[in-house]
Each structure stands twice: as C-alpha cells, then as structure tokens.
C-alpha cells in the first residue's frame, strides 16, 4: 500500500511539473513575434504567440496597384501564414515538453 502511495505521489509531482512547464511555455510563446508574408514580401504581418496582430507592413508597390481585391488577398494570406507559424511553434514547444516527460509528442492532441 505504501508503495502505491509513493507511486501516486510521484505521478502527482510529475503532473504538477508538466503543468508548470506548460504554463511557462505559453508565456514564452506569448512573447514571441512571428512573421507571415505574401506576395514575395509585398505584405508582412507580425503576430505574437497570443495570435494578436502587432503590425502590418506593405511594400510601396502595393500602393501603386489599382487592384484592391489583390491587396486584400495578400493581407489575408500574410495573416494566415503568420497564424500557421504560431501554431507550428506552439506544437513544437508542447511536443518537446511531452518528449521530456516521456509522453508521445502528440499526447495533447496537437
């Protein structure tokens, strides 16, 4: 019985450690800024790890374009590219954490 309690205690401690590391990972990711781009860097979007757009930069050639729809599409594409990069960074970070804990990288369903 005492062996089971020690085992449960170890599992609980490990779970607490993983939870703290996950929270640290979230904070670290929130501070990161990732760049999404489209149109050969005609449109760049900087987004943080909380999926908040920090800034958008447009190349001068975008302003010369009379094609409003194309510019809108470039902006949407750059935002989506930035979002994918945040998601990939998040999955990698959590996958690394799970690996250190001896769990499969996709344990959390990432």
Supply the pTM of this predicted model: 0.73
Six-digit token string for 25: 């990972």
The span from the CA of 44 to the CA of 48, in Å, is 13
Range of the domain at 26: 2-100
Asked if the structure places residue 109 within a domain, the reply is no
Six-digit token string for 37: 């781009």
How many domains are there within the chain? 1
What sign results for the dihedral spanned by CA atoms 79, 83, 88, 90?
Answer: positive
End-to-end Cα separation, the chain, in angstroms: 36
Asked if the structure places residue 14 within a domain, the reply is yes
Using CB atoms within 10 Å of the CB of residue 34, give its burial: 0 to 12 exposed, 13 to 18 middle, 19+ buried.
Answer: buried
The span from the CA of 94 to the CA of 38, in Å, is 28
CATH number of residue 30's parent domain: 3.30.1310.10
108 — pLDDT class (breaks 50, 70, 90): low
Asked if the structure places residue 107 within a domain, the reply is no
What are 47-91's pLDDT values in tens digits?
999 999 999 999 999 888 888 999 999 999 999 999 999 999 888
Asked if the structure places residue 65 within a domain, the reply is yes
Asked if the structure places residue 76 within a domain, the reply is yes
Residue 34 vs residues 26, 42, 71: alpha-carbon distances, Å? 15, 16, 21
Asked if the structure places residue 45 within a domain, the reply is yes
């Amino acid at each position: 019985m005492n062996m089971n309690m020690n085992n449960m205690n170890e599992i609980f401690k490990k779970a607490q450690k993983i939870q703290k590391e996950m929270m640290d990972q979230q904070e670290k990711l929130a501070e990161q800024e990732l760049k999404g781009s489209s149109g050969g860097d005609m449109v760049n979007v900087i987004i943080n790890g909380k999926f908040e757009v920090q800034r958008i930069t447009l190349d001068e050639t975008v302003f010369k374009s009379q094609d409003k729809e194309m510019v809108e599409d470039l902006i949407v594409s750059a935002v989506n590219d930035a979002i994918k990069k945040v998601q990939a960074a998040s999955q990698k970070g959590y996958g690394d954490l799970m690996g250190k804990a001896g769990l499969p990288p996709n344990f959390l369903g990432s």
